[in-house]
Amino acid sequence: MPVADGFATKMALHCSLEHFEKDSDIRFMQEANRVLRKGGKLCVVPLYLFQSYAVLTNPLFAKRNTQFDRDAVIYSSKNWYNRHGRFYDAAHLGSRIRDRCSLKMTVYVVNCDIPSWKDQFFAALFEKES
């Protein structure tokens, strides 16, 4: 991002981190670490978690050049209207995100009463130490 180090006190991603292909999730978190001021926070909502490391795709949206992570289980759904949706398992959340930046990570379970949403989803808060 063309901004100075320590530029931001708050950042948010909504329905986006899962769509970062290849290593762009890793590179984004490293850049967020640079851009956040000490004590700054980044919120990711929702954080897609699953029992295994997986990518959800819809072949109608995935172009020939879509590259999926070699160690991910690939799922296809005609009801997923995106070419790439990454679902982290605990190990990959650690190795791809937590271990690659010096931000403190806290994962939350969010209970939701909105009828059209799922009952629960995950969110993550990353904080740059002061």
pLDDT of the chain, 130 residues: tens digit per residue: 899 999 999 999 999 999 999 999 999 999 999 999 999 999 999 999 999 999 999 988 887 778 899 999 999 999 999 999 999 999 999 999 999 889 999 999 999 887 776 678 999 999 999 8
Give the separation between CA 99 and CA 104, rounded to whole angstroms: 10
Q: Is 45 exposed, middle or buried (0-12, 13-18, 19+ CB in 10 A)?
A: middle
pTM check: above 0.85: yes
Domains of the chain, with CATH numbers?
8-54+89-127 (3.40.50.150)
Query: Could you tell me the end-to-end alpha-carbon distance of the chain, in angstroms, rounded to an integer?
Result: 22
What is the total residue count of the chain?
130
DSSP symbol at 99: G
